[in-house]
Amino acid sequence: NPSVVNIEIVSGYHSTIDIVDSSGSGFVYDADGHIVTNAHVVRDAEEILVTFSDGHVLNAELVAVDDYSDLAVIRVDPAQAPLVPVLLGDSNQLQVGQRVIAIGNPFGLDGSMTVGIVSALGRSLPSARLLDPAYDQYSNPSIIQVDAAVNPGNSGGPLLDSYGQVIGINTAIRTENGGFQGIAFAVPVNTMKRIVPQLIEQGSVQYSWLGITSPAAEGGYSVAALADELNLPVRNGILVSEVTPGSPAARAGLRAGTQTTTIRGVPIPLDSDIIVAINGQMIRDIDSLVAYLVENTSPGDTITLTIVRDAQTLDLDVTLGIRP
């Protein structure tokens, strides 16, 4: 709890007084005064006020924001702040059914703790800027779904394991009435471990880019759903429906389908490459591929894609680019 802070945002000035427009949570990342929270908590802030668990209040500066991961870093003066950095865990070790704890400031009630379990792993969420079409093509992968109560004001707070280690950052809920209905989502800490150092050191994040598109898995268009219908040689993987010209995938020789069939109104490639593994790790769908790229690679890295082409298995080396 001493590591968790309340964050209040002034996004504009109203007559002669400042009005707090929104609030959220965050946690102390290091002894240099860096605090991690959600991008949607601090975006467009004119002033950021941080309240520590002992009631200490400080102004913070915005260091950087990354809308793709919905993560942001703010900073307070370390000489004035009672800093207790969190301990970071390993989100790759999580299992469904594992106990998790959320600490945050729902509805401004600071230091609130809720308990639940991991409900599912490997979810994906749209980027933080849902209405900006420039961000629509990329999703936030490897999201943790939990049933610990998360409400407005919890955003940006830590999701912890039973040892008190941060394994996620509480980010969103799925709701039909605006309140918690048993489904909450957290960005995994292993994503944060790659994103936050870049935000602190560079002020922005570079993501690895492959340059392919695939039919959406939703609605029954995954390889697993289409395997029998199309007599595919594998039951998991990614159908490559388009390869972006000039992309790393194009330079490596990855092929999109030239023949299609229409299934329930959606054109599906018949003769495309099917990606089944990356660096020897089997992948189920496009979300698991994006998750691997985000958590394990950087632009300039060379990866090995295992593909199935004309019922033959091939390995292609691909040097990743920077996501446009």
Model confidence over 178-224: pLDDT tens digits? 667 788 999 999 999 999 999 999 999 999 999 998 887 777 778 88
pTM: 0.85
Q: Is the pLDDT of residue 153 over 70?
A: yes
What pLDDT shows up at residue 189?
Answer: 96
> Catalytic one among 22, 25, 40, 112?
40
Tell which wins on pLDDT, 132 or 173: 173
Active site residue 271: no
> Catalytic one among 112, 155, 208, 272?
155
pLDDT band at 137 (very low <50, low <70, confident <90, very high): low
Give me the percent of the chain exceeding a pLDDT of 70: 90
Q: Is the pLDDT of residue 20 over 70?
A: no
Q: Is the pLDDT of residue 131 over 60?
A: no
> Catalytic one among 66, 67, 70, 161?
70
Active site residue 15: no
Active site residue 310: no
Residue 132, number of CB atoms within 10 A of its CB: 10
**Mean pLDDT (whole number) for 133-140:** 61
Tell which wins on pLDDT, 117 or 109: 117
